[in-house]
């Protein structure tokens, strides 16, 4: 272990693992050498195409030097592979490399769609996911009412993730946000969701509307639960919250309704990743429950 002199950094940040660095450079050299061999390129040919000296390339392949990022970029280009493929260990199968290159060609939107399909088709089997039913959406959509009723009809445990978070922290959500901020809350949310998945093979869970803003946590939910987006119009969301006696959304905020509209518009592409969408606008709970039960029990 050797210290890097950088005044102002915490002690823990001033140390690097030289052994790990050495191992990384040796692995990098092996990947260069193996990629060259797969393409039938001599070291001299690669050196010429990458515009580096053959002697320097030999040092890279043996892990004896720390090449610059531009050198690695040229080497990767000459090998016909991506820089990421060169830097990170890859599975050796041709199928994996073919899939990786296919995904690299997709636009961000199509890549997100492909990820969602992979999670659903090759994560947990659909029958297994359907045993855990997760209701997502903004507050006031009817998640808790429908979740409790559905759990009762199916004789399943009912879990409100926010309540589980409060129990884990030993304090209210407001106190969690005041003490630890949103990052602290999101860490607790992820941990409690992982605990729920580990402890419940079959259950109904409701989650906070903001869970979709954390991609890894939301993907964990999508992969392990049959998700239902419980939605409503902004006006109905607001009226239901106020009818419950909570006037906080309106206090000191004359643009509360417009804020809610913006949130719904921004999150709609995320909520729509759910397996099923249930619109509760202008409908009675009994009617919504019937449709929900039909959706989750094919």
Is 35 marked as binding a ligand?
no
Beta bridge partner(s), residue 278: 230
Is 142 marked as binding a ligand?
yes
Is 141 marked as binding a ligand?
yes
Coil, strand or helix at 63? coil
Residues 6+ apart with CB under 8 A from 119: 219, 222, 223
DSSP per-residue letters across 242-293: HHTT--GGGTT-TTHHHHHHHHHHHHHHHHTTSSEEEE-TT--HHHHHHHHH
Handedness of CA 102, 105, 106, 111 (dihedral sign): positive
Is 33 marked as binding a ligand?
no
In whole angstroms, what is the distance from residue 143 CA to residue 160 CA?
10
- DSSP letter (8 states) at residue 88: S
Is 152 marked as binding a ligand?
no
Is 248 marked as binding a ligand?
yes
In whole angstroms, what is the distance from residue 239 CA to residue 282 CA?
12
DSSP per-residue letters across 156-217: --EEEHHHHHHHHHTS-HHHHHHHHHHHHHHHHHHHHHHHHHHH-SSEEEE--GGGGGSHHH
Is 110 marked as binding a ligand?
no
Question: Long-range CB contacts (< 8 A, 24+ apart) of 282-286?
Answer: 282/236, 285/142, 285/145, 285/146, 285/149
Retrieve residue 81's tokens: 């592979």
Is 145 marked as binding a ligand?
yes
Is 63 marked as binding a ligand?
no
- Binding positions for substrate are 186, 209, 267
- Binding positions for Mg(2+) are 144
- Binding positions are 140-145, 186, 209, 248, 267, 283
């Amino acid at each position: 272990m050797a210290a890097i002199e950088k005044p102002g950094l915490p002690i823990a940040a001033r140390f690097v693992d030289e052994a790990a660095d050495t191992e990384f450079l040796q692995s990098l050299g092996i990947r260069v050498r193996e990629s060259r061999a797969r393409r039938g390129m001599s070291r001299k040919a690669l050196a010429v195409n990458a515009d580096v000296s053959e002697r320097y390339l030999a040092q890279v392949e043996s892990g004896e030097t720390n090449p610059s990022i531009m050198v690695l970029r040229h080497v990767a280009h000459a090998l016909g592979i991506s820089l990421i493929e060169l830097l990170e260990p890859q599975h050796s199968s041709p199928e994996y490399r073919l899939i990786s290159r296919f995904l690299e060609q997709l636009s961000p939107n199509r890549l997100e769609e492909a990820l969602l399909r992979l999670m659903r088709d090759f994560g947990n089997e659909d029958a297994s996911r359907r045993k855990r039913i997760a209701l997502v959406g903004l507050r006031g959509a009817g998640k808790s009412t429908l979740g409790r009723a559905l759990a009762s009809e199916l004789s399943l445990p009912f879990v409100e993730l926010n309540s589980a978070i409060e129990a884990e922290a030993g304090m209210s959500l407001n106190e969690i946000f005041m003490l630890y901020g949103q990052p602290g809350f999101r860490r607790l949310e992820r941990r409690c969701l992982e605990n729920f998945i580990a402890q419940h093979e079959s259950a109904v869970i409701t989650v906070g509307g903001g869970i979709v803003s954390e991609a890894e946590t939301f993907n964990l939910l999508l992969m392990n639960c049959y998700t239902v987006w419980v939605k409503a119009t902004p006006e109905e969301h607001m009226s239901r919250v106020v009818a419950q006696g909570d006037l906080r959304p309106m206090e000191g905020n004359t643009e509360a309704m417009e804020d809610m509209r913006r949130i719904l518009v921004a999150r709609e592409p995320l909520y729509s990743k759910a397996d099923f969408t249930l619109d509760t606008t202008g409908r009675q709970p009994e009617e919504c429950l019937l449709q929900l039960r039909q959706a989750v029990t094919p």
